[in-house]
Amino acid sequence: RYEPNWGSLDARPLPAWFDEAKFGVFIHWGVFSVPSFGSEWFWWYWQKEKREPYVKFMEANYPPGFSYEDFGPLFTAEFFDPNQWADILKASGAKYVVLTSKHHEGFTLWGSKYSWNWNAVDVGPKRDLVAELATSVRNRTDLHFGLYHSLFEWFNPLFLEDVTNVFKTRKFPTSKSLPELYEIVTKYQPEIIWSDGNGNAPDTYWNSTGFLAWLYNDSPVRDTVVTNDRWGVGSICTHGGFYTCSDRYNPGHLLPHKWENCMTIDRRSWGYRRNANLDDYLTIEDLVKQLVETVSCGGNLLMNIGPTHDGRIAVVFEERLRQMGAWLKVNGEAIYGTKPWRAQNDTVAPDVWYTFSPKEGKVNAIFLNWPVSGTLELGEPQAKLGETQVELVGYKELLKWVALGEKGIIIALPQLTPKQLPCQWGWTLQLTDIN
């Protein structure tokens, strides 16, 4: 049994499914999707920091005295079709999904008895959005279902009282935050608890170790659940399950601990923004590059979309998800279930990243740019004459190659028309029998 201290909790092995999955989709959805302006931090930027664009936006578009709470009933979700979402998630090639059950605004997407009249069953959609998505994902896909949960809430009076008392009192975690965590685990059995928002309080204030000990010992998901590292000041990149270290974290080198790169398709926001421009969205080339770099260095990619207040996955997000799925359909064997190789990227060729498929004993070299010369020179592999074989994934015939001394290989790529290419944005060479 795990003890409620970091020494004991950090010794728990991460359930194997998480490392094998490699790719997940993050969904930021909540009351902030109603103004859908600027950022999911809308309430904070408007009311607390009084940032000019937010103040002007409200003055120009809403009556005087309009409060953030007044956005609640406007979070309507009338087009939310959980089956359609599940089908899009499945088509993306993702192996897990993480939904924001509650962001820093405190609004819960389920009918929490600890969030009276500030939840999706009492206000707005009048639906349990967490339950609906969980059911559809489980019925229609093989994705693991996870939930994001914010520990703190910007403007909750109980939290603000604890802040005033320099966290010597613990009214908020005992009456709100912790009961919610137990509630979502018991009710929805998520296989990921993606914690966030420590409110500058230590993990002792949140009783994070107590909750995690229960989660790992006695909860209904004790054998399969994975957690991240955001459990109070000082825990990030140090304690918990997998490390996130920071938003959009992509170190570009191998880390000794399992980690995740959580990032957004919209460069500027996690929540939906009506005022986003096309060039604010990462292209599929950008996203494939992020995935390949992340997996080569031992990480998972958690790619975020922000649905609209009425429950739609905007077509630009749907397109990116389906494009990623199309790419993974061809190149998935170089991603899923792989391990980092001895080199993460090539020393000679730019934009070539390696993974290793242990079952097949193959080294995968994923190259993001098709060379004009028609040949690809790699500095890392050590080829063996008469033994090494080189394949282009999605192309039938073996490729010709020449070894370059002790280390290095030149590979002749097939001459293909754009229509004949296995895919459009990054290709995989599989090398067998190399040192």
124: domain CATH number is: 3.20.20.80
Residue type, 340: P
Q: How many CB atoms lie within 10 A of CB 275?
A: 12
Contacts of 256 (CB under 8 A, 6+ apart): none
Measure the CA–CA gap between 353 and 348, rounded to whole angstroms.
Answer: 11
Long-range contacts of 383-391 (CB under 8 A, 24+ apart): 383/409, 383/431, 383/434, 384/433, 384/434, 384/435, 387/433, 388/431, 388/432, 388/433, 388/434, 389/431, 389/432, 389/433, 390/429, 390/430, 390/431, 391/429, 391/430, 391/432
Residue type, 6: W
Claim to verify: residue 272 and residue 285 sit in the same structural domain: yes
Q: Would you say 127 and 360 are in contact if contact means Cβ atoms under 8 Å apart?
A: no
Measure the CA–CA gap between 91 and 188, rounded to whole angstroms.
Answer: 23
Measure the CA–CA gap between 19 and 236, rounded to whole angstroms.
Answer: 19
Claim to verify: residue 400 and residue 314 sit in the same structural domain: no
In the listed set 334, 355, 387, which residue is the last one of a domain according to the structure? 334
**pLDDT given for residue 253 in this prediction:** 96
Q: Which strands make up the sheet holding 375-378, listed edge to edge?
A: 375-378, 409-412, 401-403
In the listed set 319, 334, 349, which residue is the last one of a domain according to the structure? 334
**pLDDT given for residue 360 in this prediction:** 93
pLDDT mean for each 10 residues of the chain (435 residues):
98 98 98 98 98 98 98 98 98 99 98 97 98 98 98 98 98 98 98 98 98 98 98 97 97 96 98 98 98 98 98 98 98 98 96 97 97 96 95 97 94 96 97 91
**pLDDT given for residue 167 in this prediction:** 98
Claim to verify: residue 287 and residue 399 sit in the same structural domain: no
Q: Is residue 360 part of a domain?
A: yes
Measure the CA–CA gap between 304 and 228, rounded to whole angstroms.
Answer: 16
Q: Is residue 13 part of a domain?
A: yes
Claim to verify: residue 405 and residue 276 sit in the same structural domain: no
Supply angle C-alpha 256, 261, 267, rounded to 5. Answer: 150
Nearest to 173 by CA among 246, 188, 1, 165: 165
Q: Is residue 330 part of a domain?
A: yes
Domain that holds residue 76: 6-334
Claim to verify: residue 382 and residue 254 sit in the same structural domain: no
Contacts of 142 (CB under 8 A, 6+ apart): 95
Measure the CA–CA gap between 335 and 420, rounded to whole angstroms.
Answer: 22
CATH of the domain at 370: 2.60.40.1180
Q: Is residue 1 part of a domain?
A: no
Claim to verify: residue 26 and residue 133 sit in the same structural domain: yes
Claim to verify: residue 181 and residue 303 sit in the same structural domain: yes
**pLDDT given for residue 362 in this prediction:** 97
Claim to verify: residue 344 and residue 301 sit in the same structural domain: no
In the listed set 299, 334, 369, which residue is the last one of a domain according to the structure? 334
Q: Which two tokens stand for residue 101?
A: 């059950």
Q: Would you say 113 and 82 are in contact if contact means Cβ atoms under 8 Å apart?
A: no
Claim to verify: residue 164 and residue 248 sit in the same structural domain: yes
Phi/psi of residue 361, each to 5°? 65, 30
Cα 376 versus chain centre, distance = 32
Claim to verify: residue 130 and residue 218 sit in the same structural domain: yes
Q: Is residue 193 part of a domain?
A: yes
**pLDDT given for residue 324 in this prediction:** 98
* Number of domains the chain is built from: 2
Claim to verify: residue 18 and residue 90 sit in the same structural domain: yes
Claim to verify: residue 19 and residue 114 sit in the same structural domain: yes
